[in-house]
Amino acid sequence: MTDQQKPTGRLRGRRALLAGAGVAVLAAASFAALPEASASLPATPSGWTQVFADDFNGTSGTGVNTGNWLYDLGHGYPGGAGNWGTGEIENMTNSTANVYLDGSGNLAIKPIRDGSGNWTSGRIETQRTDLAAPAGGKLRIEARLQQPNVNTGNGAGYWPAFWALGAAARGTGASGWPGIGEIDIMEDINGRSSEFATLHCGTSPGGPCNETTGIGSGERACGGCQTGFHTYAVEQDRSTSPEQIRWYLDGNNFFTVNANQVDATTWNNATHHGFFIILNVAIGGGFPDAFGGGPNGSTVSGQPMLVDYVAAYTSGSGGGGGGGGGTGGKAIKGPGGLCLDVRSSGTANGTPVQIYTCNGTGAQQWTYVEAGTTLHALGKCLDIPNGSTANGAKLQLWDCNNTAAQVFIHRADNTYYNPQANKCLDDPSGSVTPGTQVQIWDCNGSGAQKFSLPA
């Protein structure tokens, strides 16, 4: 497979360096190796709704399903920090030498060193950015995988990871991290038969989340994780008080972060929105360096991380589709104090959505959920026609369908951001004129793009 151009409008920031002195190594704990890759996804747990899944079944040597995944290419996001902001040295490709289905129900991400000592590897992320815990509910992200079969003698520099970034990361650039939230579900370095779990949030350096280290579990023993499949999961729980994020290895909760460990604004900005999932194997960088460094002359080439499946589930308020909950049936005020309005209270697909004098009618009663089909009125959703990403695309009402054309993330600056288009809800030319149909436009922070949450 030939290299493709990297998608535009993506995060141009950096991942955290998780290095830190005094990381505790727990006493060795043995986890029995699970059977090799299963033929199908596990049954959805009782009380949960599956909102995303890929079991990586397919012909040996083929690439991933690009309906579910996109490839990160090169040494960093366009315009962002090189080496993905972490000092890693590999070149990420979409070659089936590096990222491929193995024909036995697994995804393989394989780092390879060439004769000149240069490394290539793979990094993929979900097309969807709307995997979110509904208000009052939960989100669970889970994968069953085998870490690269290396050890501390020949794994120097290996850095496999299964993690998630806040949806706004696709478009905010370096300034968005770490405030937009990063949840590291599984990381290992240098073949140490262990794993690390971390939440990144707040500001960097320092801040309420101790960046760039983050709020982490420290090093946890993971016996057999290089030689067998184990299940790694995280649950974001908004049904408890305080809210929690919990990490699991083979069903055992080994680390928890509570919302009251940081201030409410930091927590909300980092967690109350959609996420996308990332799988990658890096080589080198600040995190491996903190534990002896690498790669070196003893580092083996070509040991893949194998992934049996990835799945996401929601439960509680709001149900499936990755979103739910939120406020309901209230006005959204925009430029000039006008309200977001469904023209003539129409309920037909394609009815224009406009700004209009606030009048309290049902056409101005919006429900906001934090992912998926985001803005609801009259039983339908705010929608970008045909999923357009062009400046000036006029917005309409349409049947809710959980597509990227219906994702509008309300950000701290009072803009509604659509990640797929990398654009914002906008009053054309700042008209402040009742009856003007709203559109999407490059995010610019102007008054024409300021819209409140339903209130």
Which of 40-54, 153-167, 214-228 has the lowest average pLDDT? 40-54
CA 119 to chain CA mean position, Å: 26
Q: Is the pLDDT of residue 2 over 50?
A: no
Instruction: Count how many Cα atoms sit within 13 Å of the Cα of residue 200 in the half-sphere of its side chain.
Output: 28
The two beta strands, 230-237 and 119-121, are unpaired
Q: For residue 424, what is the enclosing H or E element? A: strand 423-426
What average pLDDT does the segment 51-65 reach? 95
Asked whether the predicted pLDDT for residue 10 surpasses 60, the reply is no
The predicted model gives 80-93 an average pLDDT of 89
Note the pLDDT of residue 14: 33
Least Cα distance to 240 among 115, 135, 339 occurs for 135
Cα separations (Å) of 161 from 75, 101, 203, 283, 304? 16, 18, 22, 11, 12
Residue 320 has what pLDDT? 33
The CA-CA-CA angle for residues 284, 208, 26, to 5°, reads: 55
Give the mean pLDDT of 331-353.
Answer: 92
The answer for residues whose C-beta is within 8 angstroms of residue 21's C-beta and 6 or more apart is none
Q: How far apart are CA 195 and CA 32, in angstroms?
A: 16
pLDDT at position 205 is 94
**Cβ-contact 156, 296 below 8 angstroms:** yes
Q: For 429, phi and psi rounded to 5 degrees?
A: 55, 20
In 218-263, alpha helices (H): none
Identify the DSSP state of 308: E
Using alpha carbons, select from 402, 399, 403, 394 the residue that is nearest to residue 352: 394
The pLDDT > 70 percentage for the chain reads: 87
Calculate mean pLDDT across residues 183-202: 97
**Mean of per-residue pLDDT scores for the chain:** 86
Local confidence band at 455 (pLDDT 50, 70, 90 cut-offs): confident
Residue 25 predicted with pLDDT over 70: no
pLDDT at residue 1 greater than cutoff 50: no
Cis-peptide into 7, omega within 30 deg: no
Q: Pull the structure tokens for residue 264.
A: 């409410």
Residue 372 is predicted with a pLDDT of: 60
Q: How far is CA 25 from the centre of its chain?
A: 28
Q: Which of 2-11, 125-134, 265-274, 441-450 has the lowest mean pLDDT?
A: 2-11
pLDDT of residue 23: 31
Report, as an integer, the average pLDDT of 324-335: 68
Strand-by-strand arrangement of the 436-437 sheet: 339-342, 353-356, 436-437
> What is the pLDDT, as a whole number, of residue 169?
79
| For residues 162-180, average pLDDT | 79
Instruction: Return d(Cα 236, Cα 185) in angstroms, integer.
Output: 12
With a pLDDT cut of 90, the percent of the chain lying above it is 69
In this structure, the strands spanning 137-146 and 409-410 are: unpaired
Quick one: average pLDDT of 397-416? 88
- The 3-class secondary structure across 170-220, one letter per residue, is HHHHHHHCCCCCEEEEEECCCCCCEEEEEEECCCCCECCCCECCCEECCEE
Residue 236's pLDDT is 97
User: In whole angstroms, what is the distance from residue 177 CA to residue 232 CA?
Assistant: 24
Give the confidence band of 454 by pLDDT, cuts at 50, 70, 90. confident
Please report the pLDDT score of residue 374 as a whole number. 81
328-349: average pLDDT: 89
The set of residues, in sequence order, having a beta carbon less than 8 Å from that of 241 and lying 6+ positions away, is none
Given phi > 0 = left and psi -120 to 50 = alpha, else beta, which region is 262? beta
Range with the poorest average pLDDT among 113-122, 195-204, 256-265, 321-330: 321-330
Q: Say how far apart CA 228 and CA 254 lie, in whole Å.
A: 19
What is the spatial distance between Cα 449 and Cα 426, in angstroms, rounded to a whole number?
5
Q: What is the mean pLDDT of residues 251-264?
A: 96
Least confident residue range of 87-91, 136-140, 217-221: 136-140
Helix (H, G, I), strand (E, B) or coil at 148: coil
What is the rounded average pLDDT of the residues 182-209? 97
Cβ atoms < 10 Å from Cβ of 352: 17
Residue 37 has pLDDT above 70, yes or no: no
pLDDT band at 13 (very low <50, low <70, confident <90, very high): very low
Ordered by where they begin, the domains of the chain are 49-316 (2.60.120.200), 335-449 (2.80.10.50)
Residue 144 has pLDDT above 50, yes or no: yes
> What local confidence, expressed as pLDDT, does residue 253 receive?
97
